[in-house]
Amino acid sequence: MVSEKPRSGKDARGGGGSDIDRFALTEVVPSPRDFIFVDAERCTGCGNCVAICPMDLWRMRGGRAELAEGYRENCMECGSCYIACEAGAVDFTYPPGGTGVSYRYA
């Protein structure tokens, strides 16, 4: 049976460079609200978040980082952007209960 869901992060967000198929790894219920926030005042433009995100969900604009549109549908919730941001500009929390990714264990 063919899934009706977008089959890759690349397709689902309409651009980007990741080839990870998020929907093959997980069960996904996109969060109804934002769960990652960027403080533009704190952002130094170092690019760590862009470099580390496995789903290619970060962009630089005007020397500051921003999340790609549709990140809630494609984020793996790995927290790497939060950890990699030495400036403390990234605030990460998990999506509300019942939403986000559920990893399968074989």
Contact letters for ligand SF4, residues 39-78 (x by CB under 6 A): ----xxxxxxx--xxxx-x-------x-----x---xxxx
Smaller CB separation from ligand SF4, 7 or 20? 20
Provide, for the chain, the percentages of residues in helix, strand and coil under a 3-state DSSP scheme, each rounded to the nearest 5: 20, 20, 60
12, 28, 89, 101: which one binds ligand SF4 (CB under 6 A): 89
Tokens 């630089």 -> residue? 60
**DSSP codes of every residue in 32-63:** SS--EEE-TTT-----HHHHH-TT--EEEETT
- Per the CB < 8 A criterion, the answer to whether 46 and 60 are in contact is no
Considering only 26, 59, 73, 84, the residue that binds ligand SF4 (CB under 6 A) is 84
Binding footprint of ligand SF4 on the chain (CB under 6 A): 36, 38, 43-49, 52-55, 57, 65, 71, 75-81, 84-85, 87, 89-90
